[in-house]
Structure 1
Amino acid sequence: MPHDALTHEQWTANGWTFDVQVGGPSSGEPVVLLHGFPQNAREWDAVSRLLHEAGYRTYAPDQRGYSPGARPQDVDAYRMDHLVADVVSLLDARDLEAAHIVGHDWGAAVAWHLAGRHPDRVRTLTALSVPHPHALVNALRDDPEQKRKSAYMLFFRRRWVAERTLLAFDARLLRKSFGGSGVSQAELDRYVRPLQAPGALTGALNWYRAMSGRESAEAAPVRVPTTYVWSDGDLALGRTGAEACGTFVESDYTFVELPGLSHWLPDQAPERIAEVILARVRS
């Protein structure tokens, strides 16, 4: 099988069954790619192939709520403790002592907490869009722009109302959220269609319903080599949190600002994102 081919596997981890996209040379250093909302592991397809060409082995799971076999109903089942434990258990499932961790959006939030709590399992960290949890909490408290950008989260926390509204008219609002990304209709379908399955969007939204500002404010500093990537066209994350992110990294740290791009970085600029990841993992 060519190294750039992606295979779909199902792994049992933390008591659940996760769908995982796997590819690259079997001998390559492992890179775990964590997706955000409202996407899934497919957001990493183009990036993964570039990492495979560079000799790395990639693992991209559909996370809790997104994998049909890992979709608990209880909101508390989506607290960060469980989300981090999922990734640790996924590493254990393939006897991966440690891996390079890459996360975008909610995947970045999980990656920050994973690196803070389990630095022995994280070789390097590359976080896209979402800064260190403590930096984001501070920005939400002090920066009116970030408060405005994050107002949508209050709507997402409204059970059933958010689901009905986001899925109405063939998920028109979900599709509109990708505005300015350059994502084609076919690419949108690979994200939206799975969320139209019964219970799927509720699982994804439960991440917002379970989130805790206190948990974020108490997030540990990160002590592994880290790159944080932010785009100035991001409609959800502002400059205040982005520029403060490095305060909470006690290791080699690089801040990469990508001008003119939106929130959807792996889709919009896979070559640039792969380049940034490779610069970090090779360091």
Structure 2
Amino acid sequence: MDIKHSTVSANGIRMHVAEAGEGPPVLLCHGFPESWYSWRHQLRSLAAAGYRAVAPDMRGYGGTERPAAPGQYTLLHLVGDMVGLLDALGEQQAVIVGHDWGAPVAWHAALLRPDRFRAVAGLSVPFRPRGSGRPTAGMPQTGDEWFYQLYFQQSGAAEAELQRDVRATIRGVLYGASGDSAETGDITMVPRRGGFLDRLPDPGHPPSWLTEADVDFYVAEFERTGFTGGLNWYRNIDRSWELLGAFAGAQVTVPALYIVGDRDLVYTFKGMERLLANLPAFVPGLRDTVVLPGCGHWTQQERPDEVSARLIGFLRDLDRI
């Protein structure tokens, strides 16, 4: 099944889109530091199952525009991009799927526009209801180390580190947060006298689920674009919280699916066990929570066949309603 590429205008920016198949549309939103390519397996599987699978490079990534102003990367911008993409595709509704940072985009698209997004699946990151204070205020830090999302708030420092050796960055991040990694320390905390990559193991080769050609693709993309676009998503965490104040307490009411690996760093975040236990209260349409044994953070790449099968089963159940 061939993957087609095009450029469309959506929400005021040019967006690169990869798609395959015909049928009911399914939007696939990637995370950091990735691209449409992280959905390469699902594009073909969903197309073969009778769906129009669409994976854009998200705002700031790949062949999609990278607005210069950091404030143009809030969740409202990102959800607006997905609504604009639907319009550009000539589709009234779609199922939206997101992984990593793409998951909050998918969850909030379903929250804010259930008329356009008839169902949602989140991979790795569950829906998190709006808290009472700015998110960065509750992130862990000590005199010696701080949470990686706080480190990413600094303009310039993170870029310089990640761009110093893009191949080592891609290999280290994709291996270090995967289920293949033997790392037992907390890789989410960054030493104040060091950098984000210091605690990420680099075996000198890709993990088992990634080829050298896959690494080459990611390296070429980020050597061309840099990392600022993706980092700007982190720099709007508090701004997005402020802008979404009117939706405090709102529920995701459309049918939903959540998939996570039991070796995913997100799965071990403080408070995650309680959040997942109460997820149906915030997502009353939740059909299932799937925990994949031995799977790390890169869910749809580490377990492509299983994730595709779960997504197709979810979609088929929707079609029977």
Return the TM-score normalized by structure 1.
Answer: 0.88
Counterpart residue type for residue 201 of structure 1:
F
Q: Map Cα deviations across residues 207-257 of structure 1 (whole Å, 9 max, x no partner).
A: 001112735783731010000111110123424244433321122421111
Aligned length: 272
Out of 187, 203, 206, the position equivalent to 2:232 is 206
Query: Is the 2:62–2:222 contact (alpha carbons within 8 Å) kept by the matching residues of 1?
Result: no
Deviation of 1:116 (Å): 0.3
Q: For 1:236 and 1:136, locate their aligned partners in 2 and report how far apart those are by CA, in whole Å.
A: 18
Query: Is the 1:51–1:274 contact (alpha carbons within 8 Å) kept by the matching residues of 2?
Result: yes
Deviation of 1:189 (Å): 2.3
Q: For 2:47 and 2:313, locate their aligned partners in 1 and report how far apart those are by CA, in whole Å.
A: 14
* Structure 2: gaps (5+ residues): 141-145, 181-206
The verdict on how the C-alpha distance between 1:234 and 1:276 changes in structure 2, with shifts beyond 3 A counting, is: same
Deviation of 1:12 (Å): 0.7
Deviation of 1:142 (Å): 8.6
In the other structure, the counterpart of 1:49 is: 44
Please show how residues 87-106 of structure 1 align to structure 2 within 5 Å: 87-106=82-101
Please show how residues 26-45 of structure 1 align to structure 2 within 5 Å: 28-45=23-40
Please show how residues 43-82 of structure 1 align to structure 2 within 5 Å: 43-82=38-77
In the other structure, the counterpart of 1:281 is: 315
Q: For 1:19 and 1:207, locate their aligned partners in 2 and report how far apart those are by CA, in whole Å.
A: 18
Q: For 1:190 and 1:229, locate their aligned partners in 2 and report how far apart those are by CA, in whole Å.
A: 26
Q: For 2:4 and 2:250, locate their aligned partners in 1 and report how far apart those are by CA, in whole Å.
A: 35
SS across alignment from 1:19: strand
SS across alignment from 1:131: coil
Q: For 1:236 and 1:256, locate their aligned partners in 2 and report how far apart those are by CA, in whole Å.
A: 14
Query: Is the 1:135–1:242 contact (alpha carbons within 8 Å) kept by the matching residues of 2?
Result: no
Q: Which has the larger radius of gyration?
A: 2
Q: RMSD of aligned C-alpha atoms?
A: 2.4
* Structure 1: gaps (5+ residues): 145-149
Q: For 2:252 and 2:307, locate their aligned partners in 1 and report how far apart those are by CA, in whole Å.
A: 21
Out of 76-85 and 152-161, give the one that drifted further.
152-161
**In the alignment, does 2:166 pair up with 1:132?**
no
Counterpart residue type for residue 313 of structure 2:
A
SS across alignment from 1:125: strand
Query: Is the 1:167–1:174 contact (alpha carbons within 8 Å) kept by the matching residues of 2?
Result: no
Return the TM-score normalized by structure 2.
Answer: 0.78
Counterpart residue type for residue 253 of structure 1:
R
In the other structure, the counterpart of 1:147 is: none
The verdict on how the C-alpha distance between 1:142 and 1:170 changes in structure 2, with shifts beyond 3 A counting, is: closer
Deviation of 1:81 (Å): 0.7
**In the alignment, does 2:184 pair up with 1:158?**
no
